[in-house]
Structure 1
Amino acid sequence: MNSIARIDIDDPNVDMDEAQRITYRGEPFTGEVAEYQNGHLVSLDEYTDGILNGKCREWYQDGTLRSDGIVRDGRAVGESKEWHPNGALKSRKFFDNSAASLREEDTWDEDGTHVTSWRRDKYQTNQ
């Protein structure tokens, strides 16, 4: 059974360049990059050849999910969600594969009241 490599972002052998590429011991890293605060896992991101590529998750220090999304070749794709510390949905975004990738966004307050809604016009024309 193959196990996925996991490194801590604070490991002295981990480096990140200006383009946000991760290397481990001088080589582009493939696997999971974890971040801990006060002993608690607060983020876990998947990388391929040093580039953010896969699931991206964050948690509050109490273990409550803070955000969840997917990135392909360094760009957000599909649905991404963020939650308030009380567990209520804070935002939902949908990304497509175009250059202007944010397609939809909705936000809610901590009580679950829908606050904003935005949709990119599917039929935009450049005239």
Structure 2
Amino acid sequence: MTSDKARIDIDDPEVDMDEAQRLLYRGELFSGEAVEYVGEKLISLDNYTDGMQNGLSLEWYEDGTLRSEGTVRMGLPCGEFKEWHPNGVLASRKVFDEDGTTLREEFTWDMSGQPLRSWRLGGA
């Protein structure tokens, strides 16, 4: 089954940003998936609605290892965001309010998985 979403390469010369930092494709606000490649390797995929990042956001290292994953709602992070070290070990986990204005939790780990930082809003 194929997706009906429009998909553009973010490096396409017809991709631009307007003064409000909204994504344009051929002069129009873009809705769909914007992808980026290094050579033949997909390294990022972001969803857009009317020029604003909106939906799943994914990044990969060039070897295909997942680099980051999270959800954006109309340009703001919402819910859980995760990042991984190149060796696949979880590097950070952040949790945002659903409106994207407040960071609720942040945890970070070194490349061997040892905790570096553990923080929750209100210290709970």
TM norm. shorter chain > 0.5: yes
Mapped to 2, the partners of 1:2 and 1:53 lie a distance apart of 17
Deviation at 1:122, TM superposition (A): 7.8
Deviation at 1:90, TM superposition (A): 0.2
SS in 1 for 2:4: coil
Mapped to 1, the partners of 2:85 and 2:3 lie a distance apart of 35
Q: How many residues align?
A: 123
Alignment match, 1:52: 53
SS in 1 for 2:56: strand
In structure 2, list runs of 5 or more residues that go unmatched: none
Deviation at 1:40, TM superposition (A): 1.1
Deviation at 1:4, TM superposition (A): 1.0
Mapped to 2, the partners of 1:113 and 1:58 lie a distance apart of 23
Contact 2:73 2:100 survives alignment (8 Å): no
Structure number, greater radius of gyration: 1
User: What TM-score comes out, normalization by structure 1 length?
Assistant: 0.90
Alignment match, 1:117: 118
Alignment match, 1:90: 91
Deviation at 1:99, TM superposition (A): 6.7
Alignment match, 2:11: 10
Contact 2:106 2:119 survives alignment (8 Å): yes
In structure 1, list runs of 5 or more residues that go unmatched: none
User: What TM-score comes out, normalization by structure 2 length?
Assistant: 0.92
Contact 2:107 2:116 survives alignment (8 Å): yes
SS in 1 for 2:88: coil
Mapped to 2, the partners of 1:34 and 1:20 lie a distance apart of 17
Question: 4+ runs of 1 displaced by more than 4 Å?
Answer: none
